[in-house]
Amino acid sequence: MKLVRYGEAGAERPGIWLDATGGQPARIVDVRGMAFDIADYDARFWQTFGVDRLRGLLTEAGLKTLPAAGVRLGPPVAPPRQLICLGKNYRDHAEEFDAQVPAHPVYFAKSPSAMCGPTDPIRLRPGMVRVDAEVELAVVIGCRVRDVSEQDALACVAGYTVLNDVTDRDVQAQRLQWFLAKSADTFGPMGPWLVTPDTLPDPQALGLRQRVNGALLQESHTSNMLFTVAAVLADVSRVLTLEPGDILSTGTPGGIGSTRQPPVLLRDGDRVECEIDGIGTLCNPVIQGD
């Protein structure tokens, strides 16, 4: 199942994406129109309803849908309580970044306010010069997670989506931590939908890639992660409790634009694509301005 949020930024409605089939164009199920008590894909949804409720809606007569063409998609889940990211979770990226391959997962926070939709513009504010993109698999938590084992960790996942962890490299180099460099408005394109685990059972079996203006920069596979999704969930939950709706982004592979010679940095008019097999593609224009 593919969960989407659609409509104007800040006023998105929950929906279910129905792929084009049998000559019929893609459509979106209006979840709120069928179940007024489901306001959004937020913590309350995962705690109270969950995917089983959506499966029930799909079996009802008189399914309320709208054509998907021309409809803006927002991030597929509401802004979470926390957005936790992994740094250097692929060996080739660790080597191109600072040549130090970590023995343990490296975590940092990214502000949920950075999140935007899968086709929304990435906005470069004045003074942002060395900015590039990072394709990542993001995991949405579906239940309270504390002291979970690796064996049981994936049962706590609500779904998977694509995150572009856009980063201001100058700010990252200037500061002793990465939060500010990663958290500018629009520096977290996400989507195009949340794919539920019944559709995507193995998060370590996915190809991922990033292109800028059609040129391939990153291409790897989630099997190359130093620390698997299950291992990371177990590691994090030994220290802090993850709540429904929290997001964990699992790091990016090598090939980022800022490490290339010459560097491939984001500029006004560029188009960035971040793609993960089995999920979909983000396609975000880059705009210079306030």
pLDDT (average), residues 206-231:
98
Classify strands 131-132 and 207-212 as parallel, antiparallel or unpaired: unpaired
Q: What is the pLDDT of residue 77?
A: 98
Q: What is the pLDDT of residues 111-129, one digit of tens each?
A: 999 999 999 999 999 999 9
pLDDT at 204: 98
| pLDDT tens digits for range 150-186 | 999 999 999 999 999 999 999 999 998 899 999 999 9
Res 139 pLDDT > 90: yes
Single-letter amino acid code for the residue at 273:
E
Q: What is the pLDDT of residue 49?
A: 86
> Which residue has tokens 């064996």?
151
**Burial tier of 224 (Cβ tally within 10 Å: 0-12, 13-18, 19+):** middle
Q: What is the pTM of this model?
A: 0.97
Average predicted confidence (pLDDT) for the chain: 96
Q: Does residue 13 or residue 177 have the better pLDDT?
A: 13
Q: Cα–Cα distance between 178 and 109 in angstroms, integer?
A: 8
**Mean pLDDT computed over 216-242:** 98
Q: Does residue 168 or residue 100 have the better pLDDT?
A: 168
Domains and CATH numbers, the chain: 2-67 (no CATH), 83-288 (3.90.850.10)
